[in-house]
């Protein structure tokens, strides 16, 4: 109601200038202790609050950071975001969250929109589905792949990838060792006596899915199991998709005795289909997912999965961002952090009645 108090109001009341008030408020050394205290007290009394927009305009920093994720209603992304917030909030930053619903077109929209909002940086996990011929509204030309990030890079706005990254020079990233995660999961299945292990993959143009595929493959090879391409199927990370694909697997002449999925959601779809067909888990078919979504633990038939320590991932991504901001436009050094995954062994894959990791 009553207009907000500005430093000018305080200045007028104290018969000094706004500059002095500003200095007092900013702990500038060029000011006497007496006036500083006076100003601080008066500011408090007048209910002064700094206008961040003005400050942002002056400093060129908005103290807003954009976070772009495929969706927020997965525990993985929500946890990463929480990690980012935990690190950035105390530093005075705000986080603007955008969802792409895994569509590249929305990714472009979001980036431009965030740029427009003057964000100081963007932390993101790239999307999967190239849903349409994307047209850059600025240039009216079609956008191909990495072009999407050009606007950011041209403007020198810090960009940090997490989990789903792209290899772009100058761009830092925080990921887990997907190869190892997949290798461990596959090895575990082999240890349980499984020999015909299928793999629910996803678009392998994306590094994470490619690496999981490679880890899976290597584990087979290292154990002297023949790699069978027909056991690898791509599908979206959704329950219905996992289900559909599993239908095909089960219809094979010699169906698999285990499934390692790059996603907990498609793993869940697989489980539903397997059970619906009257097969037993893990006796007939074992299933392992990826991401350690909470439901994997909650299911009556708990699901073995690979934990990605998402909160940690978020915190680190935020730290990398802060470093880049400090560096300013100076040294443009990429930083690539790789976290170690952890296999959480549960009922869906545990043949023997050993202890269960929760």
Partner DNA sequence: ACATATAATGTAATCGATTACAATAATAAG
Partner DNA sequence: CTTATTATTGTAATCGATTACATTATATGT
Using the contact rule CB under 7 A, the part of the chain among 33-41, 148-156, 289-297, 331-339 near DNA is 33-41
**Which partner, a second copy, DNA, none, binds residue 275 by CB below 5 to 8 Å per kind?**
a second copy
Residue 1 in the binding site for DNA (CB under 7 A): no
- Which contacts qualify for 50-57: CB closer than 8 Å, 24 or more apart? 50/25, 51/4, 51/6, 56/118
Gap between the Cα atoms of 102 and 105, Å rounded: 9
122 binds, among a second copy, DNA, none (CB under 5 to 8 A by kind): none
Map tokens 């299945």 to a residue. 189
Stretch that binds a second copy, among 22-30, 92-100, 314-322, 342-350 (CB under 8 A): 92-100
Candidates 2, 27, 33, 138: give the one binding DNA (CB under 7 A): 33
d(CA 7, CA 18): 6
Residue 330 is a binding residue for a second copy (CB under 8 A):
no
Q: State which residue, 46 or 214, has the beta carbon closest to a second copy.
A: 46
Q: Is 89 a binder of a second copy (CB under 8 A)? A: yes
Q: Which is nearer to a second copy, 166 or 272 (CB)?
A: 272
Helix (H) or strand (E) holding 25: helix 18-25
Q: How far is CA 331 from CA 1, 108, 156, 161, in A?
A: 47, 27, 12, 18
Nearer to a second copy, 329 or 353 (CB): 329
Residue with smaller CB distance to DNA, 7 or 306: 7
Q: Is position 322 an interface residue for a second copy (rule: CB under 8 A)?
A: no
- Residue 155 as a binder of DNA (CB under 7 A): the answer is no
N-terminal to C-terminal alpha carbon distance within the chain: 54
Instruction: Tell me how far apart the alpha carbons of residues 204 and 128 are, in angstroms, rounded to a whole number.
Output: 10
Strand-by-strand arrangement of the 258-261 sheet: 232-234, 197-201, 258-261, 286-288
Which one among 2, 60, 140, 352 touches DNA, defined by CB under 7 A? 60
Q: Nearest to residue 284, comparing CAs of 256, 265, 260?
A: 256
Q: Which of 60, 73, 163 is closest to 120 using CA atoms?
A: 60
Q: Report CA-CA distances (Å) from 15 to 4, 12, 18, 62, 125.
A: 19, 5, 10, 31, 52
**Would you say 277 and 251 are in contact if contact means Cβ atoms under 8 Å apart?**
no
Residue 298 contact partner, candidates DNA, a second copy, none, CB within 5 to 8 A by sort of partner:
a second copy
CB of 246 to a second copy, least distance (A): 14
Least separation in angstroms between CB 56 and DNA: 8
> What is the C-alpha to C-alpha distance for residues 140 and 147, in angstroms, rounded to an integer?
13
Which of the listed partners (DNA, a second copy, none) does 356 bind, with a CB threshold of 5 to 8 Å by partner kind?
A: none
Q: Is 169 in the site for a second copy (CB under 8 A)?
A: no
Nearer to a second copy, 36 or 272 (CB): 272
**Could you give the CA distance from residue 5 to residue 42 in angstroms, rounded to a whole number?**
11
Q: Residue 353 interacts with a second copy (CB under 8 A)?
A: no
Which residues bind to a second copy, rule: CB under 8 A? 1, 4, 44, 47, 49-54, 56-57, 62-64, 71-75, 78-79, 81-82, 85, 89, 94-97, 99, 113-118, 138, 154-156, 239, 268, 271-272, 275, 295, 298-301, 329
Which residues bind to DNA, rule: CB under 7 A? 3-4, 6-8, 15-20, 22-23, 25-26, 28-35, 48-51, 54-55, 57-60
């Amino acid at each position: 109601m009553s207009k907000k108090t500005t430093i000018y109001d305080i200045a007028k009341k104290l018969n000094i200038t706004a500059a002095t008030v500003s200095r007092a408020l900013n702990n500038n050394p060029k000011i006497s202790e007496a006036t500083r205290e006076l100003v601080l007290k008066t500011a408090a009394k007048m209910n002064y609050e700094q206008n961040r927009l003005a400050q942002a305009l002056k400093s060129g920093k908005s103290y807003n950071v954009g976070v772009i994720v495929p969706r927020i209603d997965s525990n993985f992304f929500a946890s990463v975001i929480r990690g980012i917030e935990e690190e950035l909030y105390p530093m005075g930053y705000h986080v603007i969250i955008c969802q792409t619903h895994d569509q590249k077109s929305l990714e472009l929209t979001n980036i431009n929109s965030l740029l427009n909002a003057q964000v100081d940086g963007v932390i993101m996990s790239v999307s999967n589905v190239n849903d349409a011929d994307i047209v850059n509204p600025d240039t009216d030309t079609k956008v191909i792949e990495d072009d999407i990030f050009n606007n950011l890079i041209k403007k020198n706005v810090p960009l940090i990838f997490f989990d789903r990254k792209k290899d772009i020079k100058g761009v830092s990233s925080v990921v887990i060792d997907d190869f190892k995660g997949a290798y461990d999961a596959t090895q575990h299945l082999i240890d349980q006596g499984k020999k015909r292990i299928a793999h629910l993959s996803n678009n392998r143009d994306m590094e994470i899915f490619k690496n999981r595929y490679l880890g899976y493959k290597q584990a087979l090879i290292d154990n002297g199991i023949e790699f069978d391409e027909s056991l690898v199927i791509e599908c979206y990370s959704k329950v219905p998709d996992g289900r559909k694909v599993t239908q095909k697997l089960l219809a094979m002449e010699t169906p698999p005795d285990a499934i390692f999925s790059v996603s907990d959601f498609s793993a869940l779809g697989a489980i539903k289909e397997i059970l619906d067909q009257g097969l037993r888990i893990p006796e007939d078919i074992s299933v392992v997912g990826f991401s350690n979504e909470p439901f994997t633990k909650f299911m009556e038939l708990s699901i073995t999965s690979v934990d990605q320590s998402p909160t940690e991932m978020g915190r680190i991504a935020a730290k990398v961002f802060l470093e880049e901001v400090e560096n300013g436009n100076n040294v443009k050094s990429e930083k690539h952090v790789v976290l170690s995954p952890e296999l959480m062994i549960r009922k869906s894959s545990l043949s023997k009645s050993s202890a269960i990791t929760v």
